[in-house]
């Protein structure tokens, strides 16, 4: 081992870590996300084979939400949710943004009218009368 290098036991592939930390259901989904540019390490786009070490800062985009976190511990095997939660520390700014986005989605969902399935015969005739062009 050269001077300044960390032992291989202290490094884990990013796709394995994302899977072990329960951000993705399968390792191949984690690798696809990394290859697709959805995961950044220390602000840089990386490949799935990139090794992680404690202290690295990750940015993970899943749909509309973006999670920023710091790697606290490494794991190659997937464990319970409590074990997975101990592998990282989410930043305060990320938590705030995520909660604000969840609140916004909840408010938008409440504003939309709820349809209870297909219209009955009377409602369908009313829709036809309303949309008919004469």
Name the β-bridge partners of 51.
13
pLDDT tens for 25-74 read 999 999 999 999 999 999 999 999 999 999 999 999 988 889 999 999 99
| Strand locations in 72-117 (E) | 88-90
Structure tokens at 11: 């490094």
pLDDT above 70 covers a percentage of the chain that reads 93
Q: Domains of the chain (ranges plus CATH)? A: 8-96 (3.10.290.10)
Angle at 31 between CA 28 and CA 36, to 5 degrees: 125
Q: State the pTM of this model.
A: 0.74
pLDDT of amino acid 58: 95
pLDDT of amino acid 30: 94
pLDDT of amino acid 5: 44
């Amino acid at each position: 081992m050269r001077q300044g290098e960390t032992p291989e036991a202290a490094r884990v592939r990013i796709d394995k870590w994302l899977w072990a930390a329960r951000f993705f259901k399968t390792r191949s989904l984690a690798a696809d996300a990394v290859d697709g540019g959805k995961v950044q390490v220390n602000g840089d786009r990386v490949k799935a084979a990139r090794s992680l070490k404690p202290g690295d800062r990750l940015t993970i985009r899943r749909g509309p939400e973006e999670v920023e976190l710091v790697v606290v511990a490494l794991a190659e095997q997937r464990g319970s949710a409590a074990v997975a939660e101990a592998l990282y520390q989410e930043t305060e700014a990320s938590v705030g943004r995520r909660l604000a986005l969840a609140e916004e989605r909840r408010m938008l969902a409440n504003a939309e009218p709820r349809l209870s399935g297909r219209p009955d015969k009377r409602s369908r005739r009313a829709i036809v009368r309303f949309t008919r062009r004469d």
